């Protein structure tokens, strides 16, 4: 970009063309007071406090909206400028309570700073009497209009950065104020409680309720809630987290956060935290000492191993825990217990991704990076309710559409919030994704929109794949999917016509008995149009848990060692045997659902669970309970007494993310630091240290002084992590593959060549879901997440505020269906599948497709997974959470329940 | 209030710049701009409801509630204020039994205060159904209203 040079107060400044005078001054180290300016928002020019004199220009232009020009001479601090600034500031103060000491923004208020810069010490103008309007309806923050200076930063942030538009400047002249639609309470508006507006407000008008005392120190870490992997700055006072902000320079969130990350960390300091080991005595879990608990665990595990062999044991690792803990856990299971029976909840969300993308491309991870999304011309979002499940990634999608004019196609049975920004919403019947994508590809081929050069030079298996598509016309797909043929054609043309098209998907694609097929279809679609291996393209699975990517990468899977190296490859096995100093089992182990089945059949005798809660997360929970109860020995290591821990023989208290050092790998393969900010409660111990204790007592000594040593060991046996170390990931985490210390990390995969050599097309034929609605069970149930909670709610439901914003156990139903069934809003309805019954609260909404109901799975009061089908995808062994058949009946009880 | 606005929307392409003309059509058809109409308009133009509300409350021409048969506006601009505009307003409020910004229960009258009509020479001024009545006194104002009853 061309550079220009201008003079500001006798200082020369050279800046890129297009820079504002204000930003040029700031870059030259010159302070100009501002109020409505915010570096992340469009220039606004409303407060006029940033005025300057510019030679050759009339009047006093606002520097934030005036572009710097070559040779410009600017004066920022003349008598004339200051006089006008003072008048403006005095008018603002006249309309402002002079009560700084009691204001939540005291010391951080920008109005205070500007006034002091201008030398204003007291109110000179007669104060105006304004009605005191206070909106405290949101549990996390309040809006006090008496200190609002109408800079509109909140309004602009809500619109420009979040795409929500909950607030607006309402009314005119003296009546003008920040308000919601029809001036209703904030909490009843479309507000998502993200707190962006609070963060941007220069005064105390918008302030967090909890933040009464400022922190004494800050600790940079990574959010524990979801796979976005936002950078958090925890403000700590003593041993308490008193404030959370987004890290402004972070590559993922750029300072933004969602409600869970910003306001939902109450669980860390919760009184319910486990503080001592528990041992079951006379049927009751009772507190015990560490020595006794560890001896018991090691003793029982060795007994079972001696009596029934190592494969009668299994371990469930955790997508919530760090990379170091996952590495250590799978090493413990493989080397100390001697079995490959290790898995974790990734099986339940993205096993089909890992298998499908590995077959098509050779690597099961997100091909491209989050930052690239913004620059795609076309984005196809399918099976991902991004604004709720990955709020910060949704911001990039919204920015692509709103700022850069990208076309958005949403293919989802539900009218999710992103549809507001979409050019096309394809509302396919749940479980018919393959038919839909095949028909799109049929159009692309038929209309000559395929990228022949890419197909010829980069792929294989095309002919067979092409033949399988011949019958799949849009007219064929219309009755199957319920999507009009014309819309399928339009979507195909839009996607194929883009220079850079990106596919974003999540569990709506993977959690089917056809999950692997769905993923293969998307891979086909991307290869057919040459949308792999370039920036802002690709096939991008959004991983749910904060470290589900890392748990997979580090081998918490039954068939692979760290770095996806196959356990049944003799060469690989030998090198791990050498590294770990023991013989290792050759057969791949059991997956999550297979473990449950083996336990139910009495084949699996002992289970060690670290930080997972299968009693809510797994399908067909009744069956899970029976299976866990049948075990000879269940050990659970967690920070809370979860539904699963309640069934355990021994419970070991681990520590939360805010109390440990380590790394998480986010959904875009970025390895990021997690840092201890507070002390753990009671006798809780570091999770890695607990694993070392148990392993050592089993006769396999493990000793580390610090997680960084585990990282070093892990890097030495995991080629894709080869260049990682605590020093390396300290500031900005690199993205794997990062084979050595000099490697810069990999922003997008498969450039020039696929990981597996050539990309492989797979012919995929449409199959129906395992269980479809019928006369007896006429409704299709699909499950998913909501914005305010995470997974089984173990963490998020400890926040009173989140609980208030999202009260337990709703299910969504289309108003027409509700009318036909005689169900009204808020009514408690009994929902029954072939596997179980729950009671949930009806929410009538057109988001649901007619004939389909939706339930979030976070709530133990009405565990959606009592209903779901544990039928598995034949390849990836992922259960079909997204489709099962249920019937509805109005319940007599007035509260949700199981 | 569930007005069907599809007839109005069918005249438009659904672009954001069409907000004000659409709201004018709504007001012409319904007499004011109800909340539900704002919601529908927001959906049609794919903008936040709050943005529609912001515009409706910004322009004096839009009404949020059903208006009376007769629109009465009393000027409170500087010129009128100096010449007793406040007393005119009080007299009218008393006569109609409503405060400025309100509509009588029988929907006969709506009353508003306005900053300036640009008829300062005639101050104090009252405007009824678009007709300017100048040099008002409280008594004269009441008579103008009585003539309508
Ligand atoms: S909290 Fe977020 S969604 Fe709510 S008004 Fe503020 S910026 Fe908008
Ligand atoms: S609430 Fe804060 S950010 Fe919003 S307009 Fe008022 S002062 Fe500005
Ligand atoms: S929950 Fe996800 S989106 Fe929200 S702050 Fe944490 S990492 Fe970011
Ligand atoms: S900062 Fe420039 S006008 Fe407000």
Model ipTM?
0.83
- Retrieve residue B112's tokens: 């508003």
Q: How big, in percent rounded to 5, are the helix, strand and coil portions of chain B?
A: 50, 15, 40
Do B18 and B53 lie in one domain? The reply is yes
Pocket of ligand 3 (CB under 6 A): A 223, 225-226, 228-230, 253, 257-258, 260-261, 391-392
Confidence class for position A897, pLDDT limits 50, 70, 90: low
- Position A128 scores a pLDDT of 56
Do B53 and B74 lie in one domain? The reply is no
Higher-confidence residue: A350 or A312? A312
Do B75 and B114 lie in one domain? The reply is yes
Q: Which of A492, A413, A337, A512 is nearest to A883 (CA)?
A: A512
Alpha-carbon distance A177 to nearest alpha carbon in chain B (angstroms) = 10
Residue A400 Cα to chain centre, angstroms: 18
Quick one: average pLDDT of A346-363? Answer: 86
Ligand 4 centre to CA of A297 (Å) is 65
Nearest to B49 among A171, A172, A181 (CB): A181
Is the pLDDT reported for residue A642 higher than 60? yes
Confidence class for position A756, pLDDT limits 50, 70, 90: confident
Nearest to B50 among A172, A173, A180 (CB): A180
Do A164 and B47 make contact, defined as CB atoms within 8 angstroms? no
Quick one: average pLDDT of B64-82? Answer: 86
Chain A residues in contact with B46 (beta carbon < 8 A): 420-421
Q: Which of A504, A435, A495, A461 is nearest to A360 (CA)?
A: A461
- Position B1 scores a pLDDT of 43
How does pLDDT run across A3-33, given as a tens digit for each residue? 999 999 989 999 999 999 999 999 999 999 9
Do A182 and B35 make contact, defined as CB atoms within 8 angstroms? yes
Distance from C-alpha of A788 to C-alpha of A859, rounded to nearest angstrom: 12
Cα separations in angstroms, A548 against A226, A370, A552, A686 = 9, 17, 6, 20
For residue A691, the tally of other CB atoms under 10 A from its CB is: 30
Distance from C-alpha of A800 to C-alpha of A185, rounded to nearest angstrom: 19
Residue B110: inside a domain, yes or no? Answer: yes
- Position A125 scores a pLDDT of 53
Confidence class for position A329, pLDDT limits 50, 70, 90: very high
Ligand 4 centre to CA of A604 (Å) is 68
Q: Is the CB of A279 under 6 A from ligand 2?
A: no
Please, which residues bridge with residue A134 across strands? A144
Do B139 and B79 lie in one domain? The reply is yes
Confidence class for position A334, pLDDT limits 50, 70, 90: very high
Bond preceding residue A815 cis, omega within 30 of 0: no
Residue B64: inside a domain, yes or no? Answer: no
Confidence class for position A102, pLDDT limits 50, 70, 90: confident
Q: Return residue ranges of chain A for CATH 3.40.228.10.
A: 351-541
Q: Return residue ranges of chain A for CATH 3.40.50.740.
A: 278-349+547-639+656-721
Confidence class for position A182, pLDDT limits 50, 70, 90: very high
Interface of A with B (CB under 8 A): 159, 164-173, 175, 179-183, 189-190, 420-421
Higher-confidence residue: A766 or A314? A314
Is the pLDDT reported for residue A818 higher than 50? yes
Confidence class for position A123, pLDDT limits 50, 70, 90: low
H-state helical runs in A320-377: 323-331, 346-349, 351-360, 370-373
Confidence class for position A800, pLDDT limits 50, 70, 90: confident
- Position A342 scores a pLDDT of 94
Ligand 1 centre to CA of A144 (Å) is 15
The number of folded domains in chain B is: 2
E strands of A415-454, at which residues? 424-426
End-of-domain residue from the set B36, B58, B80: B58
The domain A3-94 is classified under which CATH number: 3.90.1150.10, 3.30.1360.40, 3.20.20.70, 3.10.20.740? 3.10.20.740
Residue B107: inside a domain, yes or no? Answer: yes
Confidence class for position A314, pLDDT limits 50, 70, 90: very high
Distance from C-alpha of A357 to C-alpha of A516, rounded to nearest angstrom: 9
Nearest to B57 among A166, A172, A421 (CB): A172
Is the pLDDT reported for residue A374 higher than 90? yes
Top-ranked range on mean pLDDT: pick from A405-409, A504-508, A730-734, B14-18: A405-409
Cα separations in angstroms, A262 against A45, A141, A194, A210, A222 = 29, 11, 7, 11, 12
pLDDT-wise least confident of A90-104, A141-155, A247-261, B94-108: A90-104
Chain A residues in contact with B116 (beta carbon < 8 A): none
Helix axes A79-94, A110-117, angle to 10 degrees: 140
Do A165 and B49 make contact, defined as CB atoms within 8 angstroms? yes
Q: Return residue ranges of chain A for CATH 2.40.40.20.
A: 779-890
- Position A895 scores a pLDDT of 66
Is the pLDDT reported for residue A619 higher than 80? no
- Position A539 scores a pLDDT of 94
- Position B3 scores a pLDDT of 58
Do B98 and B143 lie in one domain? The reply is yes
Alpha-carbon distance B55 to nearest alpha carbon in chain A (angstroms) = 8
Question: Residue of the nearest CA to atom 2 in ligand 2?
Answer: A201
CATH number of A278-349+547-639+656-721: 3.40.50.740
Residue B65: inside a domain, yes or no? Answer: no
Do B53 and A168 make contact, defined as CB atoms within 8 angstroms? yes
Nearest to A165 among B38, B50, B58 (CB): B50
Query: CATH number of the domain that B74 lies in?
Result: 3.40.30.10
Cα separations in angstroms, A593 against A129, A614, A843, A856 = 66, 10, 31, 21
The mean pLDDT of chain A is 90
* CATH architecture of the domain with residue range A779-890: Beta Barrel (2.40)
Chain A residues in contact with B54 (beta carbon < 8 A): 168-170
pLDDT-wise least confident of A369-383, A540-554, A594-608, A881-895: A881-895
Ligand 2 centre to CA of B112 (Å) is 29
Do B46 and B108 lie in one domain? The reply is no
CATH superfamily of A351-541: Dimethylsulfoxide Reductase, domain 2 (3.40.228.10)
Do B53 and A169 make contact, defined as CB atoms within 8 angstroms? no
Those residues with Cβ within 8 angstroms of residue A636's Cβ, 6 or more apart along the chain or in another chain = A609, A610, A642, A644, A645, A648, A650, A651, A652
Chain A residues in contact with B59 (beta carbon < 8 A): 172
CA angle centred on A19, ends A15 and A21, rounded to 5°: 95
Higher-confidence residue: A328 or B63? A328
Instruction: Give me the domain span that covers residue B131.
Output: 70-148
Give the HSE-up count for residue A52: Cα atoms under 13 Å, Cβ half-sphere.
Answer: 29
Provide the edge-to-edge strand list for the sheet that holds A11-16: A11-16, A3-8, A73-75, A53-54
Cα separations in angstroms, A260 against A156, A389, A390, A787 = 22, 11, 11, 8
- Position A668 scores a pLDDT of 93
Q: Return residue ranges of chain A for CATH 3.10.20.740.
A: 3-94
Do B76 and B23 lie in one domain? The reply is no
Top-ranked range on mean pLDDT: pick from A102-106, A667-671, B101-105: A667-671
- Position B66 scores a pLDDT of 84
The helix/strand/coil state of A187 is helix
Alpha-carbon distance A163 to nearest alpha carbon in chain B (angstroms) = 9
Q: Is the CB of A370 under 6 A from ligand 4?
A: no
How does pLDDT run across A287-298, given as a tens digit for each residue? 999 999 999 999
Confidence class for position A893, pLDDT limits 50, 70, 90: low
Distance from C-alpha of A802 to C-alpha of A863, rounded to nearest angstrom: 18
């Amino acid at each position: 970009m061309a550079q220009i040079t201008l003079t500001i107060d006798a200082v020369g400044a050279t800046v890129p063309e297009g820079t504002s005078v204000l930003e040029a001054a700031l870059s030259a180290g010159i302070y100009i007071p501002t109020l409505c300016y915010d570096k992340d928002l469009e220039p606004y020019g409303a407060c006029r406090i940033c005025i300057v004199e510019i030679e050759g220009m009339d009047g006093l232009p606002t520097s934030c909206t005036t572009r710097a020009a070559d040779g410009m001479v600017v004066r920022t601090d003349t008598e004339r400028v200051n006089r006008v600034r003072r008048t403006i500031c005095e008018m603002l103060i006249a309309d402002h309570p002079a009560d700084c000491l009691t204001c939540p923004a005291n010391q951080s208020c920008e109005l205070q700073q500007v006034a002091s810069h201008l030398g204003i010490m007291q109110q000179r103008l007669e104060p105006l009497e304004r009605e005191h309007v206070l909106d405290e309806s949101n549990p996390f923050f309040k809006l006090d209009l008496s200190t609002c200076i109408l800079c509109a930063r909140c309004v602009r942030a809500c619109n420009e950065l979040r795409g929500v538009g909950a607030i607006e400047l309402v009314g005119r002249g003296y009546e003008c104020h920040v308000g919601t639609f029809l001036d209703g309470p904030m909490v009843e508006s479309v507000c998502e409680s993200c707190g962006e507006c609070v963060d941007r407000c220069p005064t105390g008008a918008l302030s967090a309720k909890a933040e009464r005392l400022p922190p004494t120190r800050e600790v940079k870490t990574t959010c524990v809630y979801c796979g976005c992997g936002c950078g958090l700055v925890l403000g700590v006072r003593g041993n308490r987290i008193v404030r959370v902000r987004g890290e402004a320079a972070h590559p993922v969130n750029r300072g933004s956060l969602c409600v869970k990350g910003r306001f939902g960390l109450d669980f860390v300091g919760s009184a319910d935290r486990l503080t001592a080991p528990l041992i079951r005595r006379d049927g009751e879990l009772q507190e015990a000492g560490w020595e006794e608990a560890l001896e018991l665990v090691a003793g029982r595990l060795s007994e079972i191993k001696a009596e029934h062999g190592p494969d009668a044991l299994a371990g469930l690792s955790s997508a919530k825990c760090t990379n170091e803990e996952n590495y250590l856990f799978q090493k413990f299971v493989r080397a100390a217990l001697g079995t490959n029976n290790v898995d974790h909840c990734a099986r339940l969300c993205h096993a089909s991704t890992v298998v499908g993308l590995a077959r098509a491309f050779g690597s099961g991870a997100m091909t491209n990076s989050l930052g690239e999304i913004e620059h795609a011309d076309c984005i196809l979002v399918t099976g991902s309710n991004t604004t709720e499940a990955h709020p910060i990634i949704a911001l990039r999608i919204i920015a692509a559409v709103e700022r850069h004019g990208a076309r958005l196609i949403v293919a989802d049975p539900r009218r999710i919030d992103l549809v507001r920004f979409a050019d096309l919403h394809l509302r396919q019947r749940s479980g018919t994704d393959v038919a839909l994508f095949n028909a799109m590809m049929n159009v692309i081929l038929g209309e000559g929109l395929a990228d022949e050069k890419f197909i010829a030079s980069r792929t294989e298996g095309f002919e067979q794949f092409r033949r399988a598509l011949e019958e799949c016309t849009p007219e064929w797909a219309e009755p199957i999917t319920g999507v009009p043929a014309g819309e399928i054609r339009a979507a195909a043309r839009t996607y194929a016509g883009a220079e850079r098209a990106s596919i974003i998907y999540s569990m709506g694609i993977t959690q089917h008995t056809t999950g692997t097929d769905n993923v293969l279809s998307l891979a086909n679609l991307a290869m057919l149009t040459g949308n792999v291996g370039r920036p802002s393209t690709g096939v991008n699975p959004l991983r749910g848990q904060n470290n589900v990517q890392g748990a997979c990468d580090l081998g918490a899977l039954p068939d692979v060692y760290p770095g996806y190296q196959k356990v049944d490859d003799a060469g690989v096995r030998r090198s791990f045997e050498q590294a770990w100093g023991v013989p290792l089992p050759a057969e791949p182990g059991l997956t999550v659902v297979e473990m449950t089945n083996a336990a139910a059949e009495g084949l699996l005798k002992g289970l060690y669970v670290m930080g997972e809660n299968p009693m809510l997360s797994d399908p067909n929970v009744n069956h899970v309970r029976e299976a866990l109860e049948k075990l000879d020995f269940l050990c659970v290591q967690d920070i809370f007494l979860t539904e699963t821990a309640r069934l355990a023989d021994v419970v070991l208290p681990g520590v939360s993310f805010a109390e440990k050092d380590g790394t998480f790998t986010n959904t875009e393969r970025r390895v990021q630091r997690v840092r201890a900010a507070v002390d753990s409660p009671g006798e809780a111990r570091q999770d890695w240290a607990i694993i070392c204790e148990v392993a050592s007592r089993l006769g396999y000594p493990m000793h580390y002084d610090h997680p960084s040593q585990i990282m070093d060991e892990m890097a030495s046996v995991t080629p894709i992590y080869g260049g990682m170390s605590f020093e390396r990931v300290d500031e900005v985490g690199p993205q794997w593959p990062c084979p050595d210390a000099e490697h810069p990390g990999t922003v997008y995969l498969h450039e020039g060549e696929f990981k597996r050599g050539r990309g492989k097309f797979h012919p995929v034929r449409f199959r129906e879901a395992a269980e479809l609605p019928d006369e007896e069970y006429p409704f299709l149930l699909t499950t998913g997440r909501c914005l305010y909670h995470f997974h089984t709610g173990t963490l998020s439901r400890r926040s009173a505020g989140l609980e208030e914003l999202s009260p337990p156990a709703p299910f969504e139903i289309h108003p027409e269906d509700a009318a036909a069934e005689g169900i009204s809003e808020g009514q408690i309805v009994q929902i029954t599948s072939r596997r179980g019954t729950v009671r949930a609260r009806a929410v009538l909404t057109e988001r649901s497709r007619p004939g389909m109901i939706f339930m979030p799975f976070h709530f133990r009061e009405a565990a959606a997974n009592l209903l779901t089908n544990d039928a598995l995808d034949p390849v990836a062994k992922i259960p079909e959470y997204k489709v099962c058949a249920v019937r509805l009946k109005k319940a007599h009880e007035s509260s949700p329940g199981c | 209030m569930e007005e069907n606005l599809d007839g109005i929307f069918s005249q438009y392409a659904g672009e954001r710049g069409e907000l004000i003309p659409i709201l004018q059509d709504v007001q012409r058809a319904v007499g004011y701009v109800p909340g539900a109409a704002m919601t529908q308009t927001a959906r049609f133009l794919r903008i936040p409801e709050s943005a529609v509300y912001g515009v409706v409350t910004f322009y004096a021409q839009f009404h949020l509630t059903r208006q009376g048969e007769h629109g009465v506006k009393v000027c409170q601009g500087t010129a009128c204020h100096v010449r007793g505009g406040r007393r005119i307003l009080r007299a009218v409020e008393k006569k109609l039994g409503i405060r400025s910004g309100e509509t009588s229960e029988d929907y006969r009258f709506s009353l508003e205060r306005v900053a300036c009509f640009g008829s300062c020479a005639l101050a104090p001024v009252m405007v009824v159904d678009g007709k300017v009545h100048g040099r008002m006194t409280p008594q004269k104002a009441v008579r103008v209203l009585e003539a309508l009853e």
